[in-house]
Amino acid sequence: MELYGFFRSSAAFRTRIALNLKGLAFDQVPINLRANEQRRGDYLKLNPMGTVPTLIDGDIVVDQSLAIIEYLEETHPEPPLLPKTPADRARVRAIAMDIACEIHPINNLRVRRYILHDLGHDEKALETWMNHWTKLGFDGIEPMLAGDPRTGKFCHGDRPGMADICLVPGVFNARIYPSFDMTPYPAIRRVFDNCMKLEAFERALPERQSDAV
């Protein structure tokens, strides 16, 4: 398999963790978002949305990190990244999407660029913007983790899965600005720390990738 990604993309980071947890080998093709390589004609032919990551599995091309993770789950079921019952699977998918649909898209590189360059705001306003959306999201996720007995060492039980895969890059993004206060989120911090003890997460870190600068 081939994964088109970018070391700093948190969506690509998610798929690297998933591939590692599944024990799947993959080659990485770097697409430099800072140099706008995702808008190059050859990449747009592969992924017309111009987003990373894109997974290539033989002649199958999949975009969108969560669609890639569901695809890996269906084609390589072991170890599972989703629990067994529909109710538990819904809980894990919802936590994953609370990050992937409510925090990440609004704080993404292209949106940050628009705030700075098109709307003409300064770095300070951008910092307030990012911290605002992260706080709204984490304020929701923290009680969902702390208040549910299904939370274990990880977001759901004692095995890492799709929610943890989204949470860890979400915490990295939250820490971009030291002004973001992680104190009110002990459950998130605990799960994060447990994830980072695992080689599958550690090996997926942005700074461990070949295109890291």
> What is the nearest approach in angstroms of its own copies to the Cβ of residue 87?
5
> Are the CB atoms for 13 and 172 separated by under 8 Å?
yes
| Gap between the Cα atoms of 36 and 17, Å rounded | 24
For strands 60-63 and 2-5, give the pairing: unpaired
Query: Looking at this protein, which amino acid is placed at residue 74?
Result: E
| Gap between the Cα atoms of 201 and 212, Å rounded | 16
> What is the nearest approach in angstroms of its own copies to the Cβ of residue 90?
4
Contact residues for its own copies, defined by CB under 8 A: 47-51, 60, 62-64, 66-68, 70-71, 74-75, 86-87, 89-91, 93-94, 97-98, 100-102, 104-106, 111, 114-115, 118-119, 121, 125, 129, 132, 136-137, 139-144, 147
Would you say 141 or 204 has its CB closer to its own copies? Answer: 141
Would you say 59 or 199 has its CB closer to its own copies? Answer: 59
> What is the nearest approach in angstroms of its own copies to the Cβ of residue 144?
5
Would you say 142 or 211 has its CB closer to its own copies? Answer: 142
> What is the nearest approach in angstroms of its own copies to the Cβ of residue 207?
25
Would you say 128 or 202 has its CB closer to its own copies? Answer: 128
> What is the nearest approach in angstroms of its own copies to the Cβ of residue 17?
18
Could you write out the DSSP letters of every residue in 73-110? Answer: HHHS-SS-SS-SSHHHHHHHHHHHHHHHTTTGGGGSHH
Would you say 36 or 196 has its CB closer to its own copies? Answer: 36
Closest among 100, 5, 106, 108 to 53, alpha carbons compared: 5
Report the run of H or E that residue 124 belongs to, with start and end. helix 123-146
